[in-house]
Amino acid sequence: MAKIHTHYDNLKVARGAPQEVVRAAYKALSQKYHPDKNQGDEKAARIMAIVNTAYNILSDPVRRKEHDEWIAAEEWEVEWLESSGDEGARPRGDNWETPPPPRNRRRLLREPRWWLGMLGGVVAGAVCALVLVKQPRLLPTALAFNKPETIAPVTSVPAPDPDAWAIPTGSKTPPAVVKALAVTQLMVPARQPECDTDLATPAAPNGEPWPEQSGYIPGYPTGNSGREMTVVVDNSANPSALFVKIFDLERRSNVRHAYVLGNGMLTIDGLAAGKYEVRYQNVVSNASRAECSNKTARRADAGF
């Protein structure tokens, strides 16, 4: 299996190394690459910056745990890609590189940009709700955005609780709080199975047979839990099943792995606010898999 380059590699320690070993490794590398001992050496300065980042993460128990979870998810994906014959799909860097940092939720809550973004979302939701209250006919249009192959999040504000505008005139009862939910919908187009690019393996990435129902694939870590976003994968027009990954653009890692039956639909909820991509690949059915095997045999007989 291809090696995942991690912060443990940058400090030259094992993944289960205790804190005293991590601290000793950092001290030894600092003495070797410190700018005071390598004045004018840009490579030494770059390595020192990488070493500092690795130590800051591995010396923090919370950030180290998130880094270990990221490693587990990446190794699952690499093992799956290698088992499906796509070993060259994930190029790796040189001996000194910085892995994508996991997103720290506690630090995220202390960032002003996060609070400003949430405030802007609440204000936008309130304005959209006011427009929908005054002009109810706009609701079908606002909810009918079904752009094929769309992977960028599309914010759709549902109608607020009816009690929010059913208060009699002159009542002292405060209005209900209007909640906004970001909803992304992916419409998968219908297409015939492609033997060269679709997944023709009878086993899922966890080594078990593909599930009989649409849902999450067991064995994968689940990240970015929250109540702010929902992703709807509409595969009703496609006869082939799908292997779906929800990819976090900020953490650069997959946070959900799911299976959607052919001509089916799956709602992936419980996502925190963020920027995501919906990545999917068709899974060849048993009948199509036999057809693909016959095509491969015919090509071999024909000398292709």
171, part of any domain = yes
Q: Quick one: 173 and 36 in the same domain? A: no
- Among 76, 102, 128, the domain boundary falls at 102
Q: Quick one: 147 and 187 in the same domain? A: yes
297, part of any domain = no
Q: Which helix (H) or strand (E) holds 205?
A: none
In a structure prediction context, what are the per-residue pLDDT tens digits for the chain, which is 304 residues long? Answer: 567 889 999 999 998 999 999 999 999 999 999 888 888 888 989 999 999 999 999 999 999 999 999 999 888 888 777 776 654 444 444 466 666 655 444 444 455 666 677 788 888 887 777 766 655 544 444 444 444 444 555 455 454 444 444 444 455 555 544 444 566 888 888 877 777 667 777 777 777 888 888 998 888 878 888 888 898 999 899 888 888 899 888 888 898 899 899 889 999 988 998 888 888 888 877 666 667 666 665 655 554 4
User: Cα 130 to the chain's mean position, in Å?
Assistant: 33
- Among 62, 77, 102, the domain boundary falls at 102
Contact, 251 vs 100, CB < 8 A? Answer: yes
Range of the domain at 23: 7-102
2, part of any domain = no
Q: Quick one: 219 and 172 in the same domain? A: yes
In this structure, what token pair is assigned to residue 77? 């994906």
Q: Would you state the pLDDT for residue 55? A: 95
Kindly report the CATH number assigned to the domain that includes residue 69: 1.10.287.110
Q: Would you state the pLDDT for residue 145? A: 41
Mapping DSSP onto H, E and C, the string for 196-219 reads CCCECCCECCCCCECCCCCEECCC
Q: Quick one: 131 and 261 in the same domain? A: yes
DSSP state, 148?
Answer: B
Number of CB atoms found within 10 A of residue 152's CB: 11
295, part of any domain = no
- Among 102, 136, 166, the domain boundary falls at 102
179, part of any domain = yes
Contact, 289 vs 209, CB < 8 A? Answer: no
Cβ within 8 Å of residue 33, ≥6 positions away: 44, 45, 47, 48, 51
Nearest to 198 by CA among 233, 158, 242, 164: 242
Q: Quick one: 47 and 182 in the same domain? A: no
296, part of any domain = no
205-249 pLDDT, tens digit per residue, is 777 888 888 998 888 878 888 888 898 999 899 888 888 899 888
In order of 33, 134, 151, the CA distances from 125 in angstroms are 51, 14, 21
Q: Would you state the pLDDT for residue 91? A: 45
- The total number of structural domains in the chain stands at 2
196, part of any domain = yes
183, part of any domain = yes
Q: Quick one: 72 and 148 in the same domain? A: no
